[in-house]
Amino acid sequence: MRISRRILLQRSAAGAAGLALASHVRPVLGQSTPAATPVEAGPAALVTADTLIPQVDDTQLVAVMPATSFEAARIRGSILLDWADLELADTSEASVATWTEDMRQLVAVRGIRADRPTVLYDEGTLFSARGWWQLAYLGYDLPRVLDGGLLAWAAAKGAVDAGPVEIAPVEAPVAEGPTVRRELLATKDEVLAALDDPGIALLDVRAPNEYAAGHIPGAVNLPYTDNAAEASPHLFKSPEVLREMYAAIGVTPDKRAITYCTTGVRGSVGFFSLMLAGFTDVALYVGSWNEWDNDPRLPQEPASS
């Protein structure tokens, strides 16, 4: 369903307990943005809390979390982007086109600018990767993720706020934005066509029990949590460790990697981790298992009864 600008504005203003945009949001009308370049991540896509603290006044901070979590604790001056608002359940070409425009409008309404340095973070879920993928897909040039998220920030004595946020005025979204990086998104049809392609690795990042219950044929399983340290604040593993971990299951840089989960949120952590590891041809099947499983024509392993 297409989300109108009116609904987007209402969602921004409503939130939970009156949550809304950070008060420093600047107008986005007339914003000039360059065409997107090929996305290059690697270790530069991560920033540590110690590095970010002296840069924070010049950085656009985006909290990728539910409104209730944002109200409980956030980095001072942050903009809220709820990962649940980014879902795409139908990856037909027409649906992708409509959703892409909706996402462009959503991030503009939220005040997320393409011409400012951007750092995304979460509250320990690793789901800032979902916001990172979204901005990279929409053409933003190398947004960064705060390694360890809010927990690492607090441990470094960064300023943390809590409570309701004053609603800021929201200007109309821009008519044009950066060029979409369409190659970062995989559709159901593209995944289906890739099933017998030895040059494509399908990566299922769900829990092993979910994978065992049903998965896309040929997909290998590595839970998304394996990409980060088990101990809090869940720092991402080094590129060297990530490459070794993925090579052990047959996911190597010479292949195009397509990640998925249930709704595309956990799959984005796999996507981001592969980019950190230096992979250059990676896509997120954003419709993920929910879309695949809902189509009875599509094959599954084990075969559905």
Structure tokens at 165: 């946020």
Element (H, E) at 265: helix 265-276
Contact 239, 181 (CB under 8 A): no
Contact present, 215 and 301 (Cβ < 8 Å): yes
Catalytic residue among 191, 261, 269, 283: 261
Q: Are strands 160-161 and 200-204 parallel, antiparallel or unpaired?
A: unpaired
What are the CA-CA distances from residue 290 to residues 85, 131, 293 (Å)?
16, 20, 5
- Quick one: CA torsion of 77, 47, 35, 97, rounded to 10 degrees? -70
Residue 104 CB contacts under 8 Å (≥ 6 apart), including other chains: 138, 173, 177
Euclidean distance between CA atoms 265 and 282, whole angstroms: 15
Integer Cα distance of 26 and 237 in angstroms = 35
Beta carbons within 10 angstroms of residue 239's beta carbon: 18
| 261: annotated active-site residue | yes
Q: Is 304 exposed, middle or buried (0-12, 13-18, 19+ CB in 10 A)?
A: exposed
Name the DSSP class of 180: P
Catalytic residues: 261
